[in-house]
Amino acid sequence: MNKLRNSLPRWTRDVSGSVAVEFALLLPVYIAVIFGIIEFGRMIWIRNTLEFAAEQAARYGAVRSASQTAATIETYARSQMLGMDSSNANLDFTVTPCGTTITVVGTYNFTTLISAYVPIPATTLTVTATFAC
């Protein structure tokens, strides 16, 4: 058996560098998981902020219904998007006063940070808040 073992080339028995190969194979998977967690967290944060802004704007419009227009309520909703640029082109609010209720619909076209490198389609986040006047 030793004779057969000694006849094999040296590189077939050498295990140095195997950790580097395993690391190189698993690194892309690890990075993809980390970026996926970050992007999913960003999406949930933006959706929660959008929902908060729509709820606050619907309440604002219901409490001050006599003196507020749809444009004023939309401006108020944009001001409630804490931590985000209110003039963002991906952000839109639609205000619908319906006599006894007011409805605010917020939409945001979410794009990932890495979409310039990986073709990931945009996701539309939509929330609706209705408040009785």
Dump pLDDT digits (tens) for 67-101: 788 899 999 999 999 888 878 888 999 998 877 88
- Helix, strand and coil in the chain, % to nearest 5: 50, 20, 30
CA distance 130 to 103: 4
Only one residue has tokens 């619909």, namely 105
The token pair that represents 10 in the structure block: 């040296």
The structure's pTM equals: 0.78
Tell me the C-alpha distance between 89 and 127, whole Å. 17
pLDDT of residue 123: 93
The yes-or-no verdict on residue 4 having pLDDT over 60 is no
pLDDT of residue 1: 53
For 80, the token pair is: 């409630």
